[in-house]
């Protein structure tokens, strides 16, 4: 019987495994063309299928040596232990502190980040108050959340009925009156210090004393945000980054976008810069990312870095020229590139003019 079972496996394996392994290799090359270790793993699996367990194990031992000493391996090991280190934080997890009971969360700002935060919260069964400046912006924010939920439905993560039930946890408002019910607030407005001062003044006025006030800023120092309040001890960074201008992620990202602008000004085509970055393995190129977050965010972030690190900033003429050409009216619209499916990209006429 064992011999027959082995024969059946050999009869059907060649075509099946070749198709499966080809698909796996194609997916790896598509998603991460510059990563070697997934392809090495597939090669080892193939050796085990073709030659049997013993040759497969031998190839695994030999193949393991190459990625083991690579920078990629060292980085992944660092990520692995760093993630687990967050479960043991001196002065927090070792004190037996009891987490606060958070029932209702408010989000100020229904843009890309605010709507994403609100979506995550309601998917985790929290009641959410979404605040925007006016009805038009509020409706746009709610529409983004609905679109986010529909993507979960399309992927089969939730049913249409669960989608409706989840959306019922969301309340949209244009004032702060309901914030007296909040246990936690996420501020997710644009990177404008004056605007954030206004928001936190309102939060201090309307939120209960136990409410945690979290900011979604990725460039502005938390002490600057809360300098005009009497509740600095309640203001926290939602990103959990080290408190400084730009924090960790954007301090690393900023030279990346600066280099992209430098290449652009020296004659390299904008969309080719983006293509080079995505082919290397980045999810999107720097200019497409700028389109995604909007010109207002690009302008605010660049201004913050220019103010704090004038000696480190490559002073691009693109943004000043766009301001001169009245692009500040398009704060949240895709402006740099025009995208056409499946992968055709060209400069928008306005930016080409600039």
What tens digit of pLDDT does each residue of 166-180 get? 999 999 999 999 999
Name the 3-class secondary structure at 296: helix
Of 237, 264, 298, which residue is a domain's last?
237
Kindly provide the b/e burial profile for residues 14-34, where b requires at least 16 CB atoms within 10 angstroms of the residue's own CB: eeeeeeeeeebeeebeeeeee
**Could you tell me if residue 294 is inside a domain?**
yes
Position 280 in a domain:
yes
**pLDDT above 70 for 233:** yes
The β-bridge partners of 215 are 187, 237
Q: Please list, in sequence order, all residues whose beta carbon lies within 8 angstroms of the beta carbon of residue 294, skipping any fewer than 6 positions away.
A: 111, 112, 331, 332, 333
Q: Which residue has the tokens 């700028």?
A: 290
CATH of the domain at 156: 3.40.50.720
Q: Which two tokens stand for residue 15?
A: 């075509």
pLDDT digits (tens, 9 = 90+) for 333-350: 444 544 443 444 555 545
CATH of the domain at 319: 1.10.1040.50
Question: Based on the domain organization, do 186 and 157 belong to the same domain?
Answer: yes
Q: 265-276 burial, b for 16+ CB within 10 Å, e for fewer? A: eeeeebbebbee
Closest CA relative to residue 136, chosen from 172, 106, 84, 176: 172
User: Into how many domains does the chain fold?
Assistant: 3
The pLDDT of 3-9, averaged and rounded, is 44
Q: Does residue 43 lie within any of the structural domains? A: yes
pLDDT(196) > 70? yes
Judgement on whether residues 212 and 278 belong to the same structural domain of the protein = no
Residue numbers of the domain that contains 135: 101-237
pTM of this prediction exceeds 0.85 = no
The domain boundary, picked from 237, 263, 289, lies at 237
Residue 77 lies in a domain: no
């Amino acid at each position: 019987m064992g011999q027959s079972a082995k024969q059946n496996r050999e009869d059907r394996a060649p075509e099946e495994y070749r198709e499966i392994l080809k698909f796996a290799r194609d997916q790896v090359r598509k998603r991460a063309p510059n990563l070697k270790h997934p392809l090495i793993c597939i090669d080892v699996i193939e050796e085990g299928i073709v030659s049997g367990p013993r040759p497969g194990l031998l190839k695994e031992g030999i193949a393991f040596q190459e990625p083991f000493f690579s920078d990629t391996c060292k980085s992944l090991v660092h990520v692995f232990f760093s993630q687990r280190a967050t479960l043991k934080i001196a002065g927090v997890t070792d004190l037996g502190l009891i987490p606060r009971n958070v029932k209702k969360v408010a989000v100020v700002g229904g843009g890309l980040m605010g709507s994403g935060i609100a979506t995550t919260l309601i998917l985790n069964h929290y009641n959410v108050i979404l605040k925007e400046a006016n009805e038009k912006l509020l409706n746009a924010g709610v529409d983004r959340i609905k679109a986010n939920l529909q993507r979960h439905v399309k992927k089969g993560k939730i049913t249409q009925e669960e989608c409706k039930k989840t959306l019922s946890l969301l309340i949209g408002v244009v004032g702060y009156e309901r914030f007296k019910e909040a246990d936690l607030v996420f501020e997710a407005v644009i990177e404008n210090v004056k605007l954030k001062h206004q928001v936190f003044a309102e939060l201090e006025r309307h939120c209960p004393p136990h409410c945690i006030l979290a900011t979604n800023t990725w460039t502005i120092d938390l002490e600057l945000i809360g300098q005009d309040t009497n509740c600095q001890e309640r203001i926290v960074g939602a990103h959990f980054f080290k408190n400084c201008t730009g924090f960790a992620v954007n301090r690393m990202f900023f030279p990346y976008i600066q280099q992209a602008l430098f290449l652009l000004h020296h004659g390299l085509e904008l969309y080719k810069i983006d293509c080079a970055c995505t082919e290397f393995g980045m999810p999107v190129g720097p200019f497409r990312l700028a389109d995604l977050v909007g010109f207002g965010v690009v302008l605010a972030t660049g201004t913050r870095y220019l103010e704090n690190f004038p000696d480190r900033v490559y002073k691009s003429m693109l943004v000043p020229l766009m301001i001169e050409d009245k692009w500040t009216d398009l704060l949240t619209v895709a402006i740099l590139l025009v995208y056409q499916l499946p992968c055709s990209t060209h400069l928008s006429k306005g930016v080409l003019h600039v």
